[in-house]
Homo-oligomer: A and B are copies of this chain.
Amino acid sequence: MAKARNAISPGRNEDYPEWYQQVVKASGLAERSPVRGCMVIKPWGFALWENIQRELDSMFKATGVKNAYFPLFIPLSFLEKEAEHVEGFAKECAVVTHHRLEKGPAGGLVPGGPLTEPLVVRPTSETIIGESFSRWVRSYRDLPLLINQWCNVVRWEMRTRIFLRTSEFLWQEGHTAHATAEEAIERTGLMLSIYARLAEEYLAMPVVKGRKTEAERFPGAVDTQCIEAMMQDRKALQAGTSHFLGQNFARASDIRFQTAAETEQYAWTTSWGASTRLIGGLIMTHGDDDGLIIPPRVAPSHVVLMPIVRKEADRQAVMEYTDRIAAELGKQVYHGRPVRVEIDRRQLGGARNWEWIKKGVPLRVEIGPRDLADRSVYLGRRDMPPRSRTSLAWKQFVETVAAILDEIQANLFRRALDFRNRHTRRIDEQEEFYAYFTPRNPEKPEIHGGFALSHWCGDADCESKLKEDLTVSIRCIPFEGGREDGKCICCGKPSKQRVVFAKAY
């Protein structure tokens, strides 16, 4: 039998980065904009982001977090307050230097009205939010202060890739202040666990929770915790971070409070963020050679209904039948919300079906005159091959739609977990480690490697040597497993801990 043609070319095994760009394009999630490094998030991509936002937002609020909004611009002097912080971001700051346009000598418009102090477009908001916190916090009674904002941030990137690394991206950044280090540390972990829950339960993307090494920490943080996911090219993607900032930023922003014992102390702060990068992770976790696959819990539409009109005489009856099914589906509840149904009435033949395959909608339903006659529907599931479709009675479909969506969600997670397990290896020998992370064909590097669970002595020199030799980094020191005696994979000195090594986005 001839190999079935796929909708996306090249396939994942042919050219993974190019496959990714083609899926983004074919799914209509987003596109590059003419503004260097910035993206346009198209309606299908934005609806996906809205679903992610809604779930995260309600998890945040359930822990007492409140949303607020702080200025886009940060005066340069604010950013400079924390030395490591400003150093970490200085190379990627968009800087506003003028506040109007005026006629230039050549007649065209040029920047006018120079600012006395340049303003940086926020790359992250610790310093500007810290300024507010310093006024909002007076006494231990004002603590904890639990704030989040949904916003755009700018980090000027030289090499950009849509959703994964763009000069402007959307995210949420949470910022909290506490009376004790213990409480701030607990909050850091709590927020990380929310990111892990979003990733695993909603995006069907298994993650490893752990902490970053000193070299990989957020600039200015005492501890950076993260979730790391494995993409289908076996590279790691950092999908969310939560930072314990100690008193570093409180000192920089002067966030002091009076304790119950009437002494004065700096607050302990945290910050935590997740961004539109999660969409990149979703694409690379689930997508196949026919395009995007969206887990039902975050899918903009759960079901697309495609009425097929072969003769004009059938039109009305087929459309009415479709409308009726849509109405009944919309009354069903999936994961606490109404099933989201879309009707695509365009008559485009097979092209319409393929369009929805590429967009990754979980369920495709074709409805033609024969289905109408049989009171049935012709159902395609996105977690199954495009040609494996089944006919079932429409009432049965309506009654089981939530269960089918649950099954797809579970399937996607299981598949991704299997994949990660297959490509995670405990490696104790340096030779094996180097071979694991080295493509066999350097001319056209095939997909290789994965997560290596190997010992590390804790020395930054070993970490940087492996990075230099293999472009492999320590993704995290995992919270679970890994604590045992062994020998550093790099230098052979004693180690107490296996860590997760991988190539990464």
Chain A residues close to B by CB (< 8 Å): 31, 33-35, 38-43, 45-47, 49-50, 66-76, 78-80, 86, 90-102, 108-111, 113, 118-121, 128, 131-132, 147, 151-152, 154, 156, 168, 170
Q: How far is the CB of A167 from chain B (nearest CB, A)?
A: 8
Interface centre among A69, A76, A109 (most CB of B within 10 A): A69
Given A95-B97, A98-B95, A111-B97, verify A72-B38 contact (CB < 8 Å).
Answer: yes
Q: How many copies does the complex hold?
A: 2
The answer to whether A67 and B38 touch across the interface, beta carbons within 8 angstroms, is no
Given A96-B121, A118-B111, verify A73-B43 contact (CB < 8 Å).
Answer: no
The answer to whether B97 and A97 touch across the interface, beta carbons within 8 angstroms, is yes
- A99 contacts across to B, CB distance below 8 A: 92-95, 156
The answer to whether A86 and B98 touch across the interface, beta carbons within 8 angstroms, is no
The answer to whether B94 and A68 touch across the interface, beta carbons within 8 angstroms, is no
The answer to whether B86 and A93 touch across the interface, beta carbons within 8 angstroms, is no
Q: Taking CB as reference atom, which chain B residue is nearest A132?
A: B40
- How far is it, in angstroms, between the C-alpha of A69 and the C-alpha of B171 when the chains are bound? 13
- A43 contacts across to B, CB distance below 8 A: 66-68, 147
- How far is it, in angstroms, between the C-alpha of A202 and the C-alpha of B20 when the chains are bound? 44
The answer to whether A71 and B111 touch across the interface, beta carbons within 8 angstroms, is no
The answer to whether B73 and A35 touch across the interface, beta carbons within 8 angstroms, is yes
- How far is it, in angstroms, between the C-alpha of A109 and the C-alpha of B117 when the chains are bound? 11
Q: Taking CB as reference atom, which chain B residue is nearest A57?
A: B50
Q: Taking CB as reference atom, which chain B residue is nearest A120?
A: B101
- How far is it, in angstroms, between the C-alpha of A40 and the C-alpha of B151 when the chains are bound? 13
Q: How far is the CB of A45 from chain B (nearest CB, A)?
A: 8
The answer to whether A76 and B101 touch across the interface, beta carbons within 8 angstroms, is yes
- A110 contacts across to B, CB distance below 8 A: 118
- A38 contacts across to B, CB distance below 8 A: 71-73
Cβ-defined partner of A94 (8 Å) among B70, B96, B152: B96
The answer to whether A131 and B47 touch across the interface, beta carbons within 8 angstroms, is no
